[in-house]
Amino acid sequence: MLKALVEQAYNYVSDPDVWVAIGTALVRIILILIAARIAVAIITVAVNRIFTQRKGGKLQLEQRRIDTLRVLVNNVARYTIYFLAILLVLKELNFDLQPVLVSAGVLGLAVGFGAQSLVRDVITGFFIIFEDQFAVGDVVTINQLTGTVQEIGLRITKIKSWTGEVHIFPNGSINQVTNYSVQNSIAVVDVSVAYEEDLDYVQQVLREVAKKADQENDDIVKEPEVLGVQGFGASEVVIRVIAECKPMTHHAITRKLRAMIKEEFDSRGIEIPYPKMVHIQPGKQRAQG
């Protein structure tokens, strides 16, 4: 019996038709994988071109929305193509696809009941994208962590903090989101001057600085306003200046306004109070009259 098995195996291995069939299958599998890679590359380029924002077009979307949809469509297309490629490879290996698909459906149902957190992540991710809660490139605070959105998927969201760390959140765990990139931001500058200064004159100088800053900075969408006296300190009067600017530019505008105000105050002789130390040398006691 062993001799018969060996002879049967030898006949199978030495059969040219078997090797032709194996070689043909391998060639087809390689061609399928290459075609899948080419299809992914072509679709990626096509999607990127489709979602490229063109000025003057009839349909105008925010760039942040475009970037989010572009990443999502590319991911879905890539997963779909690779899934179809796997099915074709299995077919070349003489697997019956009908039982495989039925088993996949049953397995997917079982996973759906067992992995409820995964289903919650996917559903939450869908509504995040559908409702445009935030998009790629937005600066957000998610669960008390602040950063720039790097990627939004149906299952996870990635944000990068300003110090370089990348935080990954399952979408189902996102309970609170603060988006800083949707509406214009406000730059707030509190200016301290000495009690001896003429407040009307100081505010007039601040209005001139505000007008100059508005002309020099494209990020300022409305001329800064001098609101007036904000408070009193131990040695200074605090005057508040605000400027409405483009989203997430208020930090830069605040620094720019402070520098311009300091430079103008120095040229006008307006004193900005600061702590001073007076050193008294011990001397002789005065004579009593």
pLDDT 10s digits, 154-199:
788 999 998 889 999 998 888 888 988 888 889 999 999 998 889 9
Mean pLDDT of 269-278: 79
| Residue 209 in tokens | 């600085």
Is residue 58 predicted with pLDDT exceeding 70?
A: no
What pLDDT does residue 57 have?
44
What local confidence, expressed as pLDDT, does residue 12 receive?
59
> pLDDT class for 63, splitting at 50, 70, 90?
low
Rounded to an integer, the average pLDDT of 138-153 is: 88
Residue 55 pLDDT: 42
Q: What is the average pLDDT value for the chain, to the nearest integer?
A: 80
What domains, with CATH codes, occur in the chain? Answer: 7-95 (1.10.287.1260), 125-179 (2.30.30.60), 185-268 (3.30.70.100)
pLDDT tens per residue across span 84-117: 888 888 887 777 767 666 666 655 655 555 567 7
- This prediction's pTM: 0.54
pLDDT digits (tens, 9 = 90+) for 190-243: 999 998 889 999 999 999 999 999 998 888 988 889 999 999 988 889 999 999
Share of the chain above pLDDT 70, in %: 77
- Buried b vs exposed e over 86-96: b needs ≥16 C-beta within 10 Å? ebbbebbeeee
How many CB atoms within 10 Å of residue 26?
11
- pLDDT at residue 2 is higher than 50: yes
